[in-house]
Each structure stands twice: as C-alpha cells, then as structure tokens.
C-alpha cells in the first residue's frame, strides 16, 4: 500500500494508464498560471503555479475527482485512493503553496513521518570530504558540459581540490 503522485507528464501518464484520456489542450499553459481549489485537498490553497503543458487530462479515470483547476484546465489536480496527479509543478519555489500540497501527499496521504531534516551545508561538507579521500593528492581533471549535474560536480570538486582541479568544457551539442 502506498501513494503515487504524478507531476506534469507523470500526471498525464497515470491518467491514461488508469483509463482516462489526455488530449491537446485548447489553450496550452506555460509559466505562471492561477490555480483555484475546487475541492479540499489538505491545506492546499491554490495560487499561482508553474505550468508547462500542451496536453491536458480531458477525461478522468473511473473514481477520480478534481481538486483544482485553472481558467483553461479543469483537471489541474486530480486523483483518488492513493493515486494523485498534478499537471503543474508544486515542487518549484515559484508555485505558491506547492509545499502544502506535497506535505499533504507525504505526511497525510502517505503517512510519512515529518522527522527528516536536511542540512545542505553539512551535505556539501560530506561530499567534499569524500572527494578529498578518493583523490588525496595530484591533479584532477573534470569534464564540464554546462548542464546542472556537471556544474554541481564542478562546484563540489572546486571546493575539494582548489587549484588541483582542471576543468574542460565538453561540447555535447546540447548547450
């Protein structure tokens, strides 16, 4: 027994796999879009959210209900019985009250304990210590594509190795 939350394309995929229908939206939504709560979903209060879709859920799977909509999308937040789908992005800072939506899914619906703490500074220190342990001496070469992953790896390696680090930009053709 668990809870599933599909976000954006994941919402569309869940809807289709469970018997709903997805079609091209009459009016695609991108960027900041106001969402209105149409049925209670924990303490989620709607607000301006980040949307990024050309397609939308037009027919809900059997038993699903809508919890939130926009001016152009009646199924922005839907689901039932442990399977929920949200067409917008509650996980980004620009989505108002997204944290309340995610907290409701995690702590109320999935019954997770809110006892996890995350200390980014401590995590960075642990990564830097591990890198120094793995390569304690000598120069370090790092291929940097410009994407988020390699940029984060570079930032950590720079802290760990300082002037020992030599980065090379690798043009993957995607930047």
Q: What is the average pLDDT value for the chain, to the nearest integer?
A: 93
Q: What is the pLDDT of residues 76-106, one digit of tens each?
A: 999 998 999 999 999 999 999 999 999 999 9
Q: What is the pLDDT of residues 25-34, one digit of tens each?
A: 999 999 999 9
Determine the Cα angle at 8 with ends 57 and 150, to 5°.
Answer: 160
Cross-strand bridge partners of residue 77: 68, 86
Cα 73 to its chain centre, rounded Å, is 20
Take residue 82 and report the two structure tokens written for it. 């442990």
Contact 67, 77 (CB under 8 A): yes
Residue 174 has pLDDT above 70, yes or no: no
pLDDT classification of 130: cutoffs 50, 70, 90? very high
Residues taking part in catalysis: 8, 89, 91
Model's pTM, two decimal places?
Answer: 0.68
SS (H, E, C) 73-90: CCCCEEEECCEEEECCCC
């Amino acid at each position: 027994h668990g809870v599933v939350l599909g976000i954006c394309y994941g919402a569309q995929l869940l809807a289709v796999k469970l018997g709903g229908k997805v079609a091209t939206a009459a009016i695609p939504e991108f960027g900041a879009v106001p969402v209105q709560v149409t049925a209670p979903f924990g303490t989620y209060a709607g607000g301006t959210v980040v949307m990024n879709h050309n397609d939308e859920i037009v027919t809900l799977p059997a038993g699903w209900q809508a919890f939130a909509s926009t001016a152009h999308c009646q199924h922005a937040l839907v689901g039932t019985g442990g399977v929920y789908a949200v067409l917008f992005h509650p996980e980004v800072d620009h989505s108002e009250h997204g944290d309340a939506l995610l907290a409701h899914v995690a702590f109320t619906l999935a019954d997770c304990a809110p006892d996890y703490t995350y200390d980014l500074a401590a995590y960075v220190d642990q990564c830097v210590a591990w890198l120094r342990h793995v390569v304690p001496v000598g120069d370090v070469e790092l291929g940097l594509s410009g994407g988020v992953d390699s940029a984060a790896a570079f930032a950590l390696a720079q802290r760990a190795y300082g002037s020992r680090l030599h980065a090379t930009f690798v043009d993957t053709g995607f930047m």
